[in-house]
Amino acid sequence: MRGDKVNIVISFFLLIALLMIGIPVSFTFFAAVLYLLVTGDYSISFVAPYAFSKLSSIIIMATPMYVMAGGIIEKGDLGNRLVDFIELFFGRFKGGLGVVAVLSCAMFGAISGSATATETVIGSIMWPRLDKAGYDKGVTASLISSCCLLGSYIPPSAMMIIFAWLCDLSVLGCFLAVLGPGLILMIAFSVWIFVKCRKDPNVKVIKFERTPAARKARRATVVSAIPALMFPIIILGGIYGGIFTPTEAAAVATLYAIPVTIFIYHGMTFRELLKTFSETATMSGVIMFMLFCVMMLARIYTTENLPTMMLEFTQSVTDNKYLVLLFINLIYIALGMLMDDTSAMTLAAPILLPVAVGMGIDPYHFAAITAVNLGLGCVTPPCAPLLYLGSKLSDTPVTKLMRSTGSIIFWIWIPIIIVVTFLPAVSTFLPSLIGK
């Protein structure tokens, strides 16, 4: 069965155009599939069974479970407990409250699996504290808008679960591939805010009292944070210890989140829990419909050998691996500037992976390149969804964020993209330890 090559190209650019003008992601992929079914030689009976079989994968079942766990955690007061705990260690240093924001974003993002939830929860907690301590609002809004992405690199990462499923790779291998870049990013953000605040006379430090009552309050803060701190220990320890799979870890995350948020932190009631179930089920349905359409489109693209065509075109231009890496980076940066990270990944990763592997690039190295580039896209205009969300939540004009965001992009994102791209060991060392 051979479709019209022209229709394949048209469907690809139709998909990009619809995403760029803001059509919901699910409908853009559906529109591309519908165009090919109407104009080409394909039928729904050819593409739908394949998509159903792919969605029956045990790996993809983790996605709705992590969405549900993230929804519960977002409303369950875990953010306050984590922030208060980390503040005990870093709040006394100048710029330390900024580091608290960085580490809180990393920990909460790893627990919730959602950059948007992280920015909403940690941002709402940290911005009043940072503002009171004299931090520039544009600086802190830019910082948290970037730091909320750390959850995409510190496992369990919902993005890497979808990436592994799209590209038929090991979920654990993808987790480990992005962990190194994630830790480097976390350190870089912390250093950046320290340097930024070093000479700012307006920035204050927290002075902890040494009275018995104050020490008792600090001990209470540590004790109250233990259930939240146990969350990543249980989930990550279980995955890396071989006790359960990433999919089973998603179920454990949900089961653990419910009693912690209701009975320990009293962050929600049973009625609110049912509402959260309804909201996250709706969100999961949207994600699954999008992935179903992606798989139908992938079935047609694979049948028409689109990845092979891309590889042959690339090899006809150059056989230099480093130029190909540069080419892949530029594609991801361009897509990331125009659409959200999930859309860009689902569109480009299955097509670009064969190109990368064909040029001798390790697939887990490619996973790290994908994650870091799309992270940059989330804070780079014109799309920059997390930057605009940070502006709205912090009540700060976007124009006030631009200078600090430019500094973060220039001093952190771009150098780390270069390091991850041209030093493969940063992303392949940990996967190699488990034979990936």
Written as one letter, the residue type at 1 is M
User: How high is the pLDDT of residue 298?
Assistant: 83
Structural domain boundaries enclosing 73: 5-433
Domain count, the chain: 1
> Which tens digit of pLDDT belongs to each residue from 17-66?
887 777 887 888 899 899 988 887 788 988 999 888 888 888 788 888 88
The reported pTM is: 0.87
- Tell me what the mean pLDDT of segment 308-316 comes to: 78
Tokens standing for residue 217: 């309050």
| Alpha carbons 169 and 115: distance in angstroms, whole number | 23
User: How high is the pLDDT of residue 101?
Assistant: 94
Name the most confidently modeled range: 36-40, 98-102, 153-157, 162-166: 98-102
> Which tens digit of pLDDT belongs to each residue from 105-130?
998 888 877 788 889 889 999 999 99
The CA-based angle 383-388-393, given to 5 degrees, is: 160
| Alpha carbons 337 and 256: distance in angstroms, whole number | 37
What is the CB neighbour count within 10 angstroms for residue 89? 12
- Tell me what the mean pLDDT of segment 205-212 comes to: 83
The CA-based angle 424-427-431, given to 5 degrees, is: 115
* Residue 369's pLDDT band (cuts 50, 70, 90): very high
Rounded alpha-carbon distances, angstroms, from residue 234 to 220, 224, 277:
22, 17, 23
